[in-house]
Amino acid sequence: MTFVGLANFVELLKDPDFWNSVKNNILVVLASVFGQVPIALLIAILLNRKLKGSRLFRTIGFLPVVLSTVVISITWNLVYNSKYGLINEFLRSIGLDFLTQNWLGDPDLALYSVLVVIVWQFVGLYLIIFLAALQNIPNEVLESAKIDGASEWVTTWKITIPMIWDTILVAIVLCISGSLKTFDLIYVMTNGGPAHSTEVMAIYMFNETFKNFNYGYGSAVSVFIFLFSLVLIVIVRKLFKLKGI
Amino acid sequence: MRIRNTKLTITTPIIYVILTIYAIVNVYPIIWMAINSFKSEQEFAVNQFGIPKKFVLENFMNAWEIANFGVLFKNSIFVSLAATFFTVLIGALASYFLARFEFKFSNVVYGFFAFGLLIPIHSTLVPIFILMKNLDLLNKPYTLLFPYIAFHLPITIFVLTSFMKAFPKSIEESAVIDGAGLFRRFWSIVLPMSRPALATVIILNFIYNWNEFAFALVLINDQNLQTLPLGLANFAGQFTTNYGAQMAGLTMSIIPIIVFYLLFEKNIVKGMTAGAVKE
Amino acid sequence: MRRVGLAVLSLLLLLALAACNDGGEEKASGAKNGVIELTLWTDWTEDRPENTVYKDMISKFNKQHDDIKIVLETIPHDQYETKLRTQAAGNQLPDMMRVWPGERTSVLVESGALLPLDPIIDQWKESIPESILDDYAVKGSYYAIPSNVSLTSLIFYNKELLKKAGYSDFPTTYEDLKKLIVALNKEGITPISLGNKATWPLQSVYISTIADRFTGSDFLPNVLSGKGSFVDKNFIQALSVIDELTKLNAFNEDMNTIDEATARNEFIKGSAAMHFAGSWAIGPILDNVENIDNIGVAPLPTFEGGKGEPSSISGVAGGGIALSSQLTKEEQEAAFEFLKFYYSETLYQNLVKANIIVPVNVEMDSQTPAIFKTANSFVQGGLAPVYDATLPAELTDIINNGLQAITLGEKSPKELAKEMQDALEKMK
């Protein structure tokens, strides 16, 4: 092994495929933060009320977290398939043929199709984290708000969300760090293709390390991922103006 | 009272519609998996959507025998439970101190745990492998506990700390006045009050450990020490995949997680006040 | 109630701990009580006939030898390289391991991890053609013996569907093939079932042979040693075939989102008239197709103006087992003995029965399926190099993704050829 100084990093910053993976990865982060967190929060608040069957819904909501990526990938591939997939079949059956797409095969669309699955896969994770956090709000607080005549909407915005603010921040940090090293699902579902259109940093790193036998270069990518997450998280923390990460 | 009732009648159906749509999208893959686990290889080749013409139970037998599922299940249960236990124990202690005490560098310590979240798992494979080799910790029944605990402590600590920070301080303060020591306060006040968050991290840890693949792949060679995810990967070859057996294996492998989830899930939503009063 | 969760957890933990004690013995390889133990890594995880043949040979060897024990460790194919790379970085390779020709072997050789088999290679020099043995040679030394030959470019076709388009024989020229594709499309039949999600099929199955037809078999080694260039009229013409086929709508529209096995299943189902694949597809097709007489197999057609041998087909040796260079003298002897036993007449005969093409001449009886016999006879036409078994990994990556980009209209054949040449020059 020879010490190459910053050569790997210089090479990395010059590689258009790498920057393409950074761009895709940023989209994954945005979709996760603005998709997973709000949806999970909404469903958590809905399920936190006394609803019939809420336990069943909670369990079902959590299912995607439990499922193996292999199953998720095969089933969603079948949903998206352009020839016989459920989405296109549905569009054809209601006469909207012109809306049918090659969801995963069109490089302009593939990433967005994958993003839907990524958001879907992890909503359940944040759902149970939020559900747990919601238990921290004493009933008396909510009751007294109701007696004061506050609508449910107002209670949610003015009391519930501020009281679990810390947990929301944690969820966002988990979202960012998780999305920046996301690997499994995309790797199984599209292999990063077609034509690099769904390649993210961790896949780029994995291919360089284990397929092109370029270990040092792969490590340089990892260092980049690490620093990139750190910067993003520090920014988020500043935005939230809260102590602790 | 009347006002609230009319309001409920408007919103409840909408809520049910939202939840039902969400539920259908979530249940579809699992049903697909279960149905296909009964199809023969020939039938899977021609029919991936419908109900099998003939239900083939052999997939389950094949999965159990070929993949040596008995041994794999035993190993997975041990590794998942043990790693979960230690992670949550260590994580709860650490979180308590991080949430409740301001000490020098407490932010630094918290930050260090955060670092663990940021490293892509595949870039740690080689260094961890070499480290474990030098410590002579490869191929042991407890090998996987080390990386599992280390890599899942961050999320555990994050969730628990944020939860504990939100406690009203008053309850603990009254215990201090009553003369309760530090560990007593932790054990009989903080832990019970954190039950929803504890249940959450227990479930999450268990699932992560149960499904973990990369470390199990490189740190274990002995077939008698392997865990389930490796066995499940065995159905896919270079050019062919035995989908029937794979789906049967996957179906069997998620049963323990669902059972585990149901066991702890009740604790997530059971109000903390109820728990505190009982104590 | 509060401690229930914790109590359950600790109880289960105790049980599990107790249950696990018996599994914890450490197994070190090497000599133990006079028995030499050798670990062997393979990817034979699936329940397929050929894997059973391989495993049977090993258990037979173990039964016949009291002083040597082969311990099998199987790793799923998709993860094999990850595990091998990691253990190699930690200097912990197994005593013996399954290897694939090309860079996957040469990288290991260059790091000094493998033991040359030169002392025993004479054993196979007579029976296995030199060109096939050479697939496992690096700089003049041999590192593994092939157990099979993977032909990577065969055309499987559905006779009934071809008849619908007015063809009773499979076209032998590219011009006729294109006419067939047009005719099939007119009938509303998908001409070729392709699953290129993993990006290697267009390169390994299609380009390996198509490019050879245009450029001749010397082209690839010449370019790699700097005596030629990828920016070559003939090579670009070969790449253009993919472009042309795509524009003719020869492939199923979901070709870039399904994998190779799924595409094969579509062909088996009868929803496409042709499927281009390697000899690995013979077994699964024979196993799963309803009427085997309806399936034919053909070589790739000839291309007008091509410089290469019109009957050759791309193929590469497979099934080799390499030895670790860290074996002691004693272990080396034992490993050599194993290889001699393993790569024997019996192995090849049993493999043929499992419909695997082997590098040696084996008598076939009337039981042998016609498809297999036909495919096997193509080996006589001579083997052309397979691209991903010859190119450095980085270039394979570029051509795989580049061919996919061509099917998407995002890159022209010329651009891809130039990109490959640029990368090659940068590597030097």
Residue C248 CB neighbour total at 10 angstroms: 15
A15-49 residue pLDDT tens: 899 999 999 999 999 999 999 999 999 999 888 87
β-bridge pairing C272-277 and C190-192: parallel
Chain B residue closest to C269 (CA)? B46
Nearest to B196 among A58, A132, A230 (CB): A132
Of B56 and A36, which is predicted with more confidence? A36
B23: closest CA of chain C, how far (Å): 27
A155-167 residue pLDDT tens: 888 888 888 888 8
Residues 6+ apart with CB under 8 A from B84: B202, B205, B206, B209, C9
Nearest to C410 among A103, A195, A212 (CB): A195
Chain C residue closest to A204 (CA)? C397
- Please give the full DSSP string across B195-264, using - where no structure is assigned: HHHHHHHHHHHHHHHHH--HHHHHH---GGG--HHHHHHTTB-SS-B-HHHHHHHHHHHHHHHHHHHHHH
Query: Measuring CA to CA, which residue among C90, C88, C76 is closest to residue C114?
Result: C88
Q: Residue A210: list chain C partners with CB under 8 A.
A: 81-82, 85
pLDDT exceeds 70 at position B118: yes
> How much is the mean pLDDT over chain B?
84
Whether residue C85 and residue B126 make contact (CB cut-off 8 A), yes or no, is yes
C150: closest CA of chain B, how far (Å): 12
Q: Residue A40: list chain B partners with CB under 8 A.
A: none
What is the average pLDDT across B168-188?
Answer: 81
Whether residue B121 and residue A183 make contact (CB cut-off 8 A), yes or no, is yes
Residue A188 forms part of a structural domain: yes
Query: Measuring CA to CA, which residue among C182, C221, C157 is closest to residue C385?
Result: C221
What pLDDT does A151 receive?
80
- pLDDT-derived band at C22 (thresholds 50, 70, 90) equals very low
User: For residues B94 and B156, is the Cβ–Cβ distance under 8 A?
Assistant: no
What pLDDT does C1 receive?
39
What pLDDT does A242 receive?
56
Whether residue A78 and residue B49 make contact (CB cut-off 8 A), yes or no, is yes
What pLDDT does A143 receive?
80
What pLDDT does A146 receive?
79
- pLDDT-derived band at B22 (thresholds 50, 70, 90) equals confident
Whether residue B269 and residue A219 make contact (CB cut-off 8 A), yes or no, is no
Q: Which of A32, A46, A55, A63 to mutate to test the interface with B (most CBs of B within 10 A)?
A: A63
Whether residue A102 and residue C82 make contact (CB cut-off 8 A), yes or no, is no
- ipTM (interface pTM): 0.84
Residues 6+ apart with CB under 8 A from B192: B275, B276, B278, B279, C2
What pLDDT does C58 receive?
96
What pLDDT does A83 receive?
83
> How much is the mean pLDDT over chain C?
89
pLDDT exceeds 80 at position C31: no
Half-sphere exposure in the Cβ direction for B107 (13 Å, CA): 6
B194-203 residue pLDDT tens: 888 999 999 9
| pTM score over 0.95 | no
pLDDT exceeds 70 at position B152: yes
Residue A143 forms part of a structural domain: yes
Residues 6+ apart with CB under 8 A from C38: C29, C68, C69, C70, C71, C95, C96, C331, C334, C335, C338
% of chain B residues with pLDDT over 70:
93
Q: Where are the domains of chain B?
A: 67-278
pLDDT exceeds 70 at position B68: yes
What pLDDT does B244 receive?
86
Residue A57 forms part of a structural domain: yes
What pLDDT does C7 receive?
53
Q: Helices in C343-390 by DSSP H: which ranges?
A: 345-353, 370-377, 387-390
What pLDDT does B6 receive?
42
- pLDDT-derived band at C18 (thresholds 50, 70, 90) equals very low
pLDDT exceeds 90 at position B190: no
How many separate helices (H) and strands (E) can be counted in chain C? 20, 15
Distance of alpha carbon A141 from the chain centroid:
33
C-alpha dihedral sign at C76, C78, C79, C80: positive
A53-98 residue pLDDT tens: 888 888 898 889 888 888 898 889 888 988 888 889 889 989 888 8
C129-151 residue pLDDT tens: 888 999 999 999 999 999 999 99
Note down the domain range covering A197: 7-240
C372-398 residue pLDDT tens: 999 988 887 778 999 999 999 889 999
What is the average pLDDT across C59-69?
Answer: 95
Homologous superfamily in CATH for domain B67-278: MetI-like (1.10.3720.10)
User: For residues B48 and C254, is the Cβ–Cβ distance under 8 A?
Assistant: no
Query: Measuring CA to CA, which residue among C303, C306, C271, C269 is closest to residue C288?
Result: C269
Q: Which residues of B205-241 are buried (b: 16+ CB within 10 A; e: fewer)?
A: bbbbbbbbbbbbbbbbbbbbbbbbbbbbbbbbbbbbb
What is the average pLDDT across C15-35?
Answer: 51
Residue C376 and residue C357: Cα distance in Å, rounded? 6
A119-157 residue pLDDT tens: 999 999 999 999 988 887 877 787 888 788 878 788 888
Question: By the CB < 8 Å criterion, does C253 face chain A?
Answer: yes
Q: Which amino acid is at C76?
A: P
Residue A245 forms part of a structural domain: no
Beta bridge partners of C97: C41, C322
Whether residue B139 and residue C5 make contact (CB cut-off 8 A), yes or no, is no
Beta bridge partners of C251: C192
- pLDDT-derived band at B135 (thresholds 50, 70, 90) equals very high
pLDDT exceeds 90 at position C248: yes
Q: For B216, phi and psi rounded to 5 degrees? A: -60, -35
Q: Residue A48: list chain B partners with CB under 8 A.
A: 269
pLDDT exceeds 60 at position C182: yes
% of chain B residues with pLDDT over 90:
31
Question: Which domains does chain C show, CATH number per domain?
Answer: 30-149+316-370 (3.40.190.10), 151-314+385-427 (3.40.190.10)
% of chain C residues with pLDDT over 90:
73
Whether residue C256 and residue A213 make contact (CB cut-off 8 A), yes or no, is no
What pLDDT does B10 receive?
55
User: For residues C217 and C384, is the Cβ–Cβ distance under 8 A?
Assistant: yes
Total domain count for chain A?
1
Eight-class DSSP state of C385: P
Tokens of B22: 């969400």
Whether residue A173 and residue B107 make contact (CB cut-off 8 A), yes or no, is no
Secondary structure class of A189 (helix, strand, coil): helix
pLDDT exceeds 90 at position B66: no
Q: Which of A211, A214, A219 to mutate to test the interface with C (most CBs of C within 10 A)?
A: A211
Eight-class DSSP state of C356: -
- pLDDT-derived band at C8 (thresholds 50, 70, 90) equals low
Whether residue C107 and residue A190 make contact (CB cut-off 8 A), yes or no, is no
Eight-class DSSP state of A205: H
β-bridge pairing C35-42 and C68-74: parallel
What pLDDT does A241 receive?
64
β-bridge pairing C190-192 and C383-384: unpaired
- pLDDT-derived band at C32 (thresholds 50, 70, 90) equals low
Residue A120 and residue A116: Cα distance in Å, rounded? 6
Q: Which of A42, A56, A70, A139 to mutate to test the interface with B (most CBs of B within 10 A)?
A: A70
Which of A132-136, B44-48, B154-158, C337-341 bottoms out in mean pLDDT, i.e. has the lowest?
B44-48
CATH number at residue A207: 1.10.3720.10
Of C17 and B63, which is predicted with more confidence? B63
Tokens of B219: 């740190």
C216-245 residue pLDDT tens: 999 999 999 999 999 999 999 999 999 999
Chain A residue closest to B207 (CA)? A66
- pLDDT-derived band at C51 (thresholds 50, 70, 90) equals very high
B15: closest CA of chain C, how far (Å): 32
